[in-house]
A and B are shown apart, each in its own frame.
Chain A
Amino acid sequence: MDQRIPLRNPTFAARALTTGSAESLLLQHVNGILTVEELGILTGLEERVVSLIAVLEEKGAVVVSSTGEHDLLPPPTLPPVSAVRNEGIDAEKAHRIRVIFRSLSTLNHYELLGVTRGAEKAEIKQAYYHLVSEFHPDRLFGKRVGELRSQLELIFRHVTEAHDVLMDAVGRAMYDAELPPSPPGSVTRSLHASARSAASLAAANGASPPISIPPPPSVPVSSRSRELDDARKRMLAAKLGGGKFRSQPPPAPSALQHPNPPSKQGSTKGT
């Protein structure tokens, strides 16, 4: 979807905005970091966000770069968000939260948990525990972290939903049926899979096609991904790049739109 990043126009007084609550809600979340697509997820406005951003732009409340190229530069008029907002949380952690948050809508349940399609339940559970120990909202309890809190909550919800669906036999079967088949020879791409876990997954897969880490796609890597370790960087680039070229299948249904129907039905059937 829309990977452009709107910026707030610092000279524009928000009070001068005589619009509906949806616009003001949206404007509140524009911070020079989130893309239009992410704003849609965060505010629950979904696709409507595109037209609303256009309205805000027309009114001069926001500036939107056409391609997301200012991705590469620090936002010109605002201090870095981490400097003002993130009290009591280290920059690396804040960064990880943002990166994962941004890719939520493009990752399927397996990718989010960092497991293969054939993963055993025990493996899924371990991956889930590992993630929640890092991304449970309580990890930021009582800290003033602004936007990061809602991002973390959304990550937690997605991760929990992924776990709940995949741990339920019926839910998983239904989910798998809707999932486009994974491209042959590809590895599970995940933001969390380290070389070690990729290797162990490969071993667990047994006779599956030989695992090779794909070369990094030739797309510009955003400045934000530079600090990431190599494996993560490649995967992130693939994600973001995919978005830019619109070559990817449409993202999996987001939890916001569809409150977990497969797992709900699955769990009743399972009993």
Chain B
Amino acid sequence: MERVIGIDLGTTNSCVAILEGDSPVVISNRGGYKTTPSMVAVTEVGKRLVGHIAKRQAITNAENTVFAAKRLIGRKWNSTQVKNMVLTSSYRIVEGPHGDARIQLRTSSYSVPEISAMVLQEMKAVAEGYLNEPVTKAVITVPAYFNDNQRQATKDAGQIAGLDVLRIINEPTAAALAYGFGKDVEKTVAVYDLGGGTFDVSILEIGSHGVFKVLATAGDTFLGGEDFDNRILGWLVQGFKEEHGIDLQQDRMALQRLKDAAEKAKCELSSTTTAEINLPFIISNKQNEALHLQRSLTRQTLEALCDELIERTVDICRQTLLDAKLKKEEIQDVILVGGMTRMPHVQRAVANFFAKEPNKGVHPDEVVALGAAVQGHGLLDGAHDMVLLDVTPHALGIMTFGSNFEPLIPQNTSIPTSRAKIFTTSRDDQTAVKILVMQGEQIRAEENELLGEFVLTGLPSKPRGQVEIEVTFSINADGIVSVHARDLATGQEQSIQVTATSGLTQDEISRMVESAKHYGVEQKLSEQAERTLQEAQTLVAEIQRLFPEVEKIVSQSDFGRDAISKARSVVSQAKTAADRRDIAALQVHLEPLARTQRMFRNVVAKVP
């Protein structure tokens, strides 16, 4: 049987593992290291470098060396995260032809999946070197809080690298799998995963029959070691500015050296209490004199600089525990994953929050790849009693009339799953509906991540609300979404595998959102609500029909003018409520509407 590799494609480092016999092992790269920097560079002569070799030349070739590409994957050029990275990164991030972010290395620009594919290819080569045979099948991990676009883009990267990606699994879930695999434990565990670029926390139940069930998960895809480094970097830049009046951030090479030094100091401070930062000839001043940077950073200062970041992770843990409907005491073990969990301050914060010492038995850099290898083997072999029940980290739904987000699949639902709901048209004779597929937790549709759109055409020409459209959402075991819409009367169908929309500009998205407002589907109202709406609309129609006549008759008197203006306001309020489909408000307006209608009828009837 063909071997499956497990790849932890990290923000700063990647790792590959395979199952040997009954236990997973990490494969060392050619340099003997168990992890490989997720860095890619292009040299002056156009040669591609990946891993340690790319890292080694990063200072002298800062502009053409990519690190932390994972922070860009599946994101749009216009997102705040990409904008921030454009400001701070030493390599050039440019706008792609479809509103995606691309990376400019010398004369070519690369899409982010292409860059990640180079790292994956390297990991594949590491495994092939060890196994002495070609490898094509892989399980790749992603942060649990990745959305569909980011997952798709990661899968694309795998394909570009020539890998058949059997499954995309969540990093904390993989860690739990490695932790519980082969042991007959029944436990509720929390996985705290603070890596180079992302933070995740998952709460899982490891149950009988080899079932790993994720109860809840949450995270922040822009919170990790990089941010700690940036805090130190900011502190260094600030100090230098105060001393010499020069902004080091303007110089790409200086920036890269600072970054390196910051990361090194951070790591050192996990075991020592003071780190010396010494960067001679960092820049020259206007008088062409060489300036040096020399400072010492204490653990205390570092903790003060990063306290807010750690506090954020603790807040997310608190929320996740709530989502899982568990109390701290019910968590039986806490697993620390990711290089950042070596920081004593992080360990302390986690221990404090969960009120127990975290487990020290797993290797924070390797455990995710090990879990991926276990899962890959489990899928193909099928002999092991092992089932992973993961959840979707974000709610999934569509935009309905009035730019509301209507979730069909709530957050933390076990996957694979699918849900169907019936919607209807929002205008008379509407023969097409546009379905905007979104992911997120916000009530306003625009504030969620847009995954894609599709149009269902050829609907029968019928009054508003009479066409029934069934929309079915499915999330497969990779966490990837597909949507299916069907006109129940004609059987007309339309479906999409939602693909990454990183190809869309913000303008296009706004336009899509805008056009969908006039063109959208609407929640199917209950019969009761439908009656209320119709009643109100009939009343409004009659009042409006009588309006000119009544106005003519009564406008002579003050009393009449007053009545007319009151009637106008009643009608306009009712119309607003009807447009918004706010049935509760409409109910309140029914009585005044009926009164106005009676009054109007009386007026018209009395005057010959």
Residues of A within 8 A of B (CB): 20-23, 25, 44, 125-126, 129-130, 132-133, 136-139, 141-142, 153, 156-157, 160, 164, 256-257, 259-260, 264, 267, 270-271
B325: CB under 8 A from chain A?
yes
CB distance from A139 to the nearest CB of B (A): 6
Q: A132 to B205: give the CA distance in the assembly, Å.
A: 14
CB distance from A38 to the nearest CB of B (A): 18
B43: CB under 8 A from chain A?
no
A sample of 26 inter-chain contacts (CB < 8 A) reads A20-B490, A20-B491, A21-B491, A44-B470, A44-B472, A44-B486, A125-B207, A126-B207, A129-B213, A130-B209, A136-B387, A137-B477, A138-B379, A139-B387, A141-B166, A156-B416, A157-B418, A160-B389, A160-B414, A164-B414, A256-B420, A259-B408, A259-B420, A267-B410, A270-B325, A271-B325
Residues of B contacting A256 with CB < 8 Å? 420
Task: State which of B210, B323, B419, B492 has its C-beta within 8 Å of the C-beta of A260.
Answer: B419
Binary flags per residue of B312-348, CB closer than 8 Å to A gives 1, else 0: 0000000000110100000000000000000000000
Contact assessment for B211 and A138 in the assembled complex, using a CB-CB cutoff below 8 Å: no
Residues of A contacting B382 with CB < 8 Å? 139, 141
Residues of A contacting B408 with CB < 8 Å? 259
Contact assessment for B420 and A44 in the assembled complex, using a CB-CB cutoff below 8 Å: yes
CB distance from B555 to the nearest CB of A (A): 52
CB distance from B240 to the nearest CB of A (A): 49
Q: Considering only CB atoms, which chain A residue lies closest to B381 in the complex?
A: A141
Residues of A contacting B388 with CB < 8 Å? 138
B417: CB under 8 A from chain A?
yes
From A130, A136, A137, residue with most partner B Cβ within 10 Å: A136
Give me the 4 closest cross-chain CB pairs, A-B, nearest first: A22-B491, A133-B209, A259-B419, A129-B211
Q: A129 to B421: give the CA distance in the assembly, Å.
A: 28
Contact assessment for A138 and B207 in the assembled complex, using a CB-CB cutoff below 8 Å: no
Q: A20-B491, A44-B420, A137-B477 are known; give 7 further A-B pairs, CB within 8 A.
A: A20-B490, A125-B207, A132-B211, A133-B387, A139-B382, A141-B380, A160-B389
Q: A20 to B493: give the CA distance in the assembly, Å.
A: 11
B447: CB under 8 A from chain A?
no
Binary flags per residue of B156-183, CB closer than 8 Å to A gives 1, else 0: 0000000000100000000000000000
Contact assessment for A137 and B416 in the assembled complex, using a CB-CB cutoff below 8 Å: yes
Residues of B contacting A157 with CB < 8 Å? 416-418
Residues of B contacting A153 with CB < 8 Å? 416
Q: A22 to B387: give the CA distance in the assembly, Å.
A: 35
Binary flags per residue of B381-407, CB closer than 8 Å to A gives 1, else 0: 010010111000000000000000000
Q: A160 to B323: give the CA distance in the assembly, Å.
A: 18
* B:118-167 near A, CB below 8 Å: 166
Task: State which of B208, B325, B380 has its C-beta within 8 Å of the C-beta of A129.
Answer: B208
Binary flags per residue of B362-380, CB closer than 8 Å to A gives 1, else 0: 0000000000000000111
Using known A-B contacts A132-B387, A164-B414, determine if residue A21 contacts B470 with beta carbons closer than 8 Å.
Answer: no
| B interface bracket (residues with beta carbon within 8 Å of A) | 35 or more
Q: Considering only CB atoms, which chain A residue lies closest to B389 in the complex?
A: A132
Contact assessment for A133 and B417 in the assembled complex, using a CB-CB cutoff below 8 Å: no
From B379, B385, B414, residue with most partner A Cβ within 10 Å: B414
From B207, B385, B472, B477, residue with most partner A Cβ within 10 Å: B207
CB distance from B64 to the nearest CB of A (A): 41
Residues of A contacting B470 with CB < 8 Å? 44
CB distance from A39 to the nearest CB of B (A): 15
Q: Considering only CB atoms, which chain A residue lies closest to B421 in the complex?
A: A259
Contact assessment for B322 and A271 in the assembled complex, using a CB-CB cutoff below 8 Å: yes
CB distance from B509 to the nearest CB of A (A): 27
* B:206-238 near A, CB below 8 Å: 207-211, 213
Residues of B contacting A138 with CB < 8 Å? 378-379, 387-388, 477
Residues of B contacting A130 with CB < 8 Å? 208-209
Residues of A contacting B323 with CB < 8 Å? 271
Q: Considering only CB atoms, which chain A residue lies closest to B476 in the complex?
A: A137
Residues of A contacting B490 with CB < 8 Å? 20
Q: A136 to B415: give the CA distance in the assembly, Å.
A: 10
Residues of B contacting A136 with CB < 8 Å? 387, 389
Residues of B contacting A44 with CB < 8 Å? 420, 470, 472, 486
Residues of A contacting B486 with CB < 8 Å? 44
CB distance from B139 to the nearest CB of A (A): 11
Residues of A contacting B416 with CB < 8 Å? 137, 153, 156-157
Residues of B contacting A164 with CB < 8 Å? 414
Contact assessment for A142 and B493 in the assembled complex, using a CB-CB cutoff below 8 Å: no
Q: Considering only CB atoms, which chain A residue lies closest to B408 in the complex?
A: A259
Residues of B contacting A267 with CB < 8 Å? 410
Residues of B contacting A139 with CB < 8 Å? 382, 387
Binary flags per residue of B415-444, CB closer than 8 Å to A gives 1, else 0: 011111100000000000000000000000
Q: A204 to B382: give the CA distance in the assembly, Å.
A: 34
Contact assessment for A129 and B209 in the assembled complex, using a CB-CB cutoff below 8 Å: yes
Residues of A contacting B492 with CB < 8 Å? 21
Contact assessment for A264 and B379 in the assembled complex, using a CB-CB cutoff below 8 Å: no
CB distance from A94 to the nearest CB of B (A): 14
* B:548-605 near A, CB below 8 Å: none
From B380, B382, B492, B493, residue with most partner A Cβ within 10 Å: B382
CB distance from A55 to the nearest CB of B (A): 12
Q: A160 to B325: give the CA distance in the assembly, Å.
A: 18
Using known A-B contacts A129-B207, A133-B209, A133-B211, determine if residue A21 contacts B493 with beta carbons closer than 8 Å.
Answer: yes
Q: Considering only CB atoms, which chain B residue lies closest to A48 in the complex?
A: B488
Residues of B contacting A264 with CB < 8 Å? 410
Q: A141 to B166: give the CA distance in the assembly, Å.
A: 9
CB distance from A243 to the nearest CB of B (A): 24
